[in-house]
Structure 1
Amino acid sequence: MTDQSAVRESTSKGTLRVLQLYPRDMNIYGDWGNALVMQRRISWHGYTPELLEYNVGDPFPADVDIIVGGGGQDSGQLVIQADLLERAQELKTLADGGTPMLVICGLYQLFGHRFVTRTGSEIKGIGVLDVETHGTDERLIGNVVVATDEFGDVLGYENHSGQTTLGSGVAPLGTTTKGMGNNSTDGHEGVRYRNVVASYLHGSLLPKNPAVADFLIKTAATRKFGSYSPGSLDDRYVAKARELAARRPR
């Protein structure tokens, strides 16, 4: 009998290591789904996925190719804050060096300079992104459509009271055509910095936005192997789901 796993391994284009940051404490509104989409699409493109986790107190894995991280309540951010600050230099080095990353909501905030809660307490960030966030009494909640030059329309769902402002060192992911995004004033959503994509969009983001997932995979494969060879994927069902999601009311 043929060992199918051995066959898949022998025909793989190479292994891509995906690290999920703090899934125990920063995994709200289905953000675990982003890691699962990465795992599945890496495999569909003909590469071998290796899905890793990093939680508070764990040794930080070496040689990671893609990093994903999710959102959490203020309490979850407080749990990981000290550990995240200890890993700040490693994460800055990876981001500045071009490692592709997707960080959502709470980790988007903590990848910035600081998050000041509604009561005035400050949660220090690691400064990978030139942004800062202030908690408010206004909650931004509902379906979102973001027009981007890079990925087309990005679809998702926001639910946050933090208002994030961008500095000159980053660019917005895109412009909201539905929903609020980073804050209630400037009409922008998310951040792009080098190969980092940051966003407030849950739901989770990647199942409805495979172009973002494939950007992370392509970037990682090109950096690791010198080239990228995509598979032939059938995304008809994704296209239907996106059509329905885009028509949903705010």
Structure 2
Amino acid sequence: MNRRTLHIAHLFPDLLNLYADRGNILTLTQRLRWRGFSVEVHEVTHRDVPRLSAYDLILLGGGSDREQGIVAEYLKGYKAELKAAIEDGLPVLAICGGYQLLGAYYQLPNGEKLPGLDILNMYTSAGVGLPRLIGNVAIETPDAGIVMGFENHGGRTVHEHEPLGKVLHGHGNDGASGFEGVRYHNVWGTYIHGPLLPKNPRLADVVLTTALQYAGVKEPLEPLDDELENQARQAFLKLRMPEVETSVPSL
């Protein structure tokens, strides 16, 4: 197997790290190193110039409305380049605020629209008087089985793309459609955090497999022993979401 270094860009960790997104970076890097890969994490702040052609995977985390506005304003100069890279297959994991940023806008309760990157055919609005969507969440995904975690968002997201998964417990994109997140090319967008990947090693490996393929590594990932992680997942589901099927197939 080609053991080249995988390059992961953590965009704006100084602004978008509201929901323990560093835990996602740690999970990705450790699961690579356990398999003998080298990995380099590029922490790109709003004072840096992103080098999109140098990255094999991008992580966009969550932040407040203010931080999202700062990031959107900064990234608009790179919007065309980022959109072209995504269309060309660049893997992107976008969580909560980072997910919302991929759409056209986020409309505040007062009617003000914070512009997004307008990469996906998607928008988010926070309606006047509507409650926040908070609590444990579990969804069924086509390629990673049951994905679980925590959600806490006031926005309702609408898009015309494939969802990440079907809601089994919790609210999802809007609390009404029964779907959560988005799956577009090699983009995963989701409101699930807590953080996401330590709770869902199978999804972590789906993301890593896609990033390695984008980097030119075609061989499948060697399996890891995730028995302890799966037992913890099953125990949590049984305690907090007993209506959700607790069988967690191995990758």
Q: Is 1:98 the equivalent of 2:89?
A: yes
Q: TM-score, normalised by structure 2?
A: 0.90
CA-CA distance at 1:247 after TM superposition: 2.6
- Contact kept? 1:173, 1:190, Cα under 8 Å: yes
User: 1:34 is matched with which residue: 24, 46, 53?
Assistant: 24
What is the total number of aligned residue pairs between the two structures? 238
Question: Superposed, which structure 2 residues align to 1:57-206 within 5 Å?
Answer: 57-61=47-51, 62-136=53-127, 137-167=130-160, 170-206=161-197
- Contact kept? 2:60, 2:98, Cα under 8 Å: yes
CA-CA distance at 1:99 after TM superposition: 1.2
Distance change (3 Å), C-alpha of 1:15 and 1:84: same
- Contact kept? 1:104, 1:201, Cα under 8 Å: yes
CA-CA distance at 1:223 after TM superposition: 2.5
- Contact kept? 2:72, 2:117, Cα under 8 Å: no
- Contact kept? 2:69, 2:115, Cα under 8 Å: no
The C-alpha deviation readout for 1:78-100, integer Å capped at 9, x for no partner, is: 22221021221222122111111
Partner amino acid for 2:150?
Y
User: 2:234 is matched with which residue: 243, 247, 250?
Assistant: 243
- Contact kept? 1:163, 1:182, Cα under 8 Å: yes
The C-alpha deviation readout for 1:48-83, integer Å capped at 9, x for no partner, is: 111111111201134100111111111211222210
Partner amino acid for 2:23?
G
Unaligned segments of structure 2, at least 5 residues: 242-251
User: 1:46 is matched with which residue: 16, 36, 40?
Assistant: 36
**Pairwise CA RMSD:** 1.6
CA-CA distance at 1:12 after TM superposition: 7.2
User: What percentage of aligned pairs have identical amino acids?
Assistant: 37
CA-CA distance at 1:114 after TM superposition: 0.9
Q: Which moved more, 1:151-160 or 1:28-37?
A: 28-37
Unaligned segments of structure 1, at least 5 residues: 1-10
Runs of 4+ displaced beyond 6 Å? none
Q: Is 1:234 the equivalent of 2:215?
A: no
- Contact kept? 1:46, 1:231, Cα under 8 Å: no
CA distance in 1, matches of 2:32, 2:85: 20
Partner amino acid for 2:183?
R
- Contact kept? 1:208, 1:242, Cα under 8 Å: yes
Distance change (3 Å), C-alpha of 1:163 and 1:28: same
The C-alpha deviation readout for 1:94-140, integer Å capped at 9, x for no partner, is: 21111111100001001111111111111111122221100133200
Q: TM-score, normalised by structure 1?
A: 0.90
* 3-state secondary structure, aligned to 2:205: helix
Partner amino acid for 2:70?
V
